[in-house]
A and B are shown apart, each in its own frame.
Chain A
Amino acid sequence: MRYKIVALLMLMVFSSSSYSELVIRVTQGNDKPTKIAIAPISQGVAKTSEDISRIVEADLQRSGLFETIERRDMLAFPTRAKDVYYRDWRLLGAEYLVAGQMQMLPDGRYQVEFSLLNVTGQKTVFTHRVSGSLSQMRDLSHLISDKVYEEITGIRGAFSTRLAYITSVRKNGKYSYRLNVSDADGAREKLILESSQPIMSPAWSNSGQELAYVSFETGRPAIFRQNLVTAARQQLTNFTGINGAPSWSPDDRKLALVLSKDGNPEIYLLEIESKKFTRLTRHFAIDTEPTWMPDSKHLLFTSDRGGTPQIYKLNIASNATERITFAGNYNARPSLAPDGRTLAMVHRTTDTFHIASFDLQTGRMIELTETRLDESPTVAPNGAMLMYATKQGDRGVLAAVSLDAGVRYVLPASAGDVREPAWSPFLR
């Protein structure tokens, strides 16, 4: 496949004051994107600075699979299917058109009715309505993006999902660590926890309602869980040594995690309700970074028992382990795509750390990134993209790449060191 640089496309994302940090740059795109026009959705009834059509455009462009028609080139701004003159859009080369308008509902909420039109076929593909409050204009926009993306690509849209990540700032020799959650596009960053002590390894529950993470707030590492809606927190571990790398089981009833209370890091299982711990590995090497396979019967984890860090597969019932990776002298932090087959990981060649994908069936390893200190891969719930942490200068930033390496973009933050992204499951 051949790729072209689509340009440093600066998408100004209009936003509320809580969101000023992240600007999206598509640095590399698919060379045959679908051309789509998002006619400005009439939204005069709502007093908001959020421009729904712009948010939808940004979502679709960021996927790398779409090229949007510039608003200034549009000959008309239809808001209903019946007002569309298809030839206007054919002239612009658009294959699809989205048109819609907003109305206020009797209960004071807002509804957008929008249609996806096939310009080539001159027909309405579907009409859909989304509704929400004034503060949910971005949610409405991402839902529109999900519907359009899914219809055209056949892949479920993941624009309505979120990211959890860690930032750290050092001021006057003092550290401040933050756990944040934002929309998948980086907008609407929300502080979930702040501490003067390190916070690490955020992991989403599969319900999307909780995060597990490591916090050093007691002066030692401990694993906590926190409900995002109620802010209720619970400390789950308090052992001597490492308490790390939590990973929720598919049914959210257990956590795989790492404890070094036996002298060196071992993988454990915690049944959350009964607080019962079961040790799964017994080896003098480092065993860490467990992640569940979709069958709930196996874990993948990192171990240096073979001399260098490599990915191993563990049968939970029998504790049998099997080495999975052999290419390269450093393979770690496995993150499985929802297909249960594509494994993203940190992969070192000579002295650089890249994100690579590994096919569990064929054993083929593909390097997806080209930067130098890439880590913490996390695959989107639709399996189309993965987010990872990398460096720009001396600063940590989040970046994304498609699993075929064709699309890349960076989410730079203006303040602090950003790292450890965790992509949420589907939330609605």
Chain B
Amino acid sequence: MKMTLIKSGLTALMMTAFLAGCSSNPADDQQGSTDIEDTSLQTGQVDDSGINDGSVDGMGMSNVFYFDYDKALLKPESRAALLEHAEALRSSPRNIRLEGHGDERGTREYNIALGERRANAVKEFLVLQGVSAGLIEVISYGEERAAAYGSNEEAWSLNRRVELK
């Protein structure tokens, strides 16, 4: 029984070749051999040199809007600031980017979805105020780009945000 197990293990050894093409020749039930061939992992290259993380262009207005835990509802102070933004964007239209973020609690892909929900809440508000939807791009970073470090309520509340850029 155990020898069968070894044999099947050896058969499986032969089936995959990743770093290694392996071959195996059990001489008998008590003996076997496994050979590892040489290959190595390679590093890929990205071209992210054209990416500008963008500074928050305030024009005197608040550009960061905070949210409650697990919520995508705009707070009164955010609405007030967004009314100013909407007016500015109506009078002099420009392309803007709304970046949604979440705190570290919960899973990463789910937080990407929550960040998008928040950024969409801001977008919908601006569109209702007459800003052209075509000018607005929504990107969610979830919990991948924290504004504040630390596993505490203070850091978390600073990270649940949408940045208008």
Q: Chain B residues near A128: list those with CB within 8 A.
A: 31-34
- Chain A binder among B38-46, B58-66, B78-86: B38-46
Q: Chain B residues near A244: list those with CB within 8 A.
A: 109, 112
Identify the interface centre among B39, B145, B150: most chain A CB within 10 Å of its CB: B145
Q: Among A151, A197, A394, point to the contact of B51 (Cβ < 8 A).
A: A197
Q: Is there contact, CB below 8 Å, between B2 and A151?
A: yes
Within 8 A of A (CB), among B1-19: 2, 5-6, 9, 12-13, 16-19
Q: Chain B residues near A194: list those with CB within 8 A.
A: 43, 46
B interface footprint on A194-218 (CB within 8 Å = 1, 0 otherwise): 1111101100000111000001111
Q: Is there contact, CB below 8 Å, between B109 and A201?
A: yes
**CB of A238 to closest CB in B, whole Å:** 13
Q: Is there contact, CB below 8 Å, between A156 and B9?
A: yes
Residues A197 and B36 in contact in the complex (CB < 8 Å), given A258-B109, A394-B151: no
Residues A208 and B38 in contact in the complex (CB < 8 Å), given A131-B33, A332-B107, A333-B110: no
Q: Is there contact, CB below 8 Å, between A200 and B36?
A: no
Q: Chain B residues near A309: list those with CB within 8 A.
A: 106-107, 110
Q: Chain A residues near B6: list those with CB within 8 A.
A: 126, 147, 150-151
Q: Chain B residues near A220: list those with CB within 8 A.
A: 139
**CB of B98 to closest CB in A, whole Å:** 12
Number of residues from B at the complex interface, CB < 8 A: 57
Q: Among A218, A245, A394, point to the contact of B149 (Cβ < 8 A).
A: A394
Does B113 belong to the interface (CB within 8 Å)?
A: yes
Using C-beta atoms within 8 Å of the partner chain, give the interface range for chain A: 35 or more
Q: Among A265, A348, A426, A428, point to the contact of B113 (Cβ < 8 A).
A: A265
Residues A132 and B43 in contact in the complex (CB < 8 Å), given A198-B145, A302-B110, A427-B16: no
Q: Which residue of B lies closest to A140 (CB)?
A: B36
Q: Which residue of B lies closest to A420 (CB)?
A: B108
Identify the interface centre among B5, B17, B34, B40: most chain A CB within 10 Å of its CB: B34
Q: Is there contact, CB below 8 Å, between B51 and A217?
A: yes
A interface footprint on B100-133 (CB within 8 Å = 1, 0 otherwise): 0000111111101110110000000000000000
Give the top 4 A-B pairs by smallest Cβ distance, nearest first. A231-B42, A132-B36, A198-B144, A129-B33
A residues contacting B by CB (< 8 A) are: 111, 124-133, 135-136, 139-140, 143, 146-147, 150-151, 154, 156, 168, 170, 175, 177, 181, 190-198, 200-201, 207-209, 215-221, 226, 228-231, 233, 240-242, 244-245, 258, 260, 264-265, 286, 288-289, 302, 309, 330, 332-333, 346, 348, 353, 372-373, 375-376, 391, 394, 419-420, 426-428
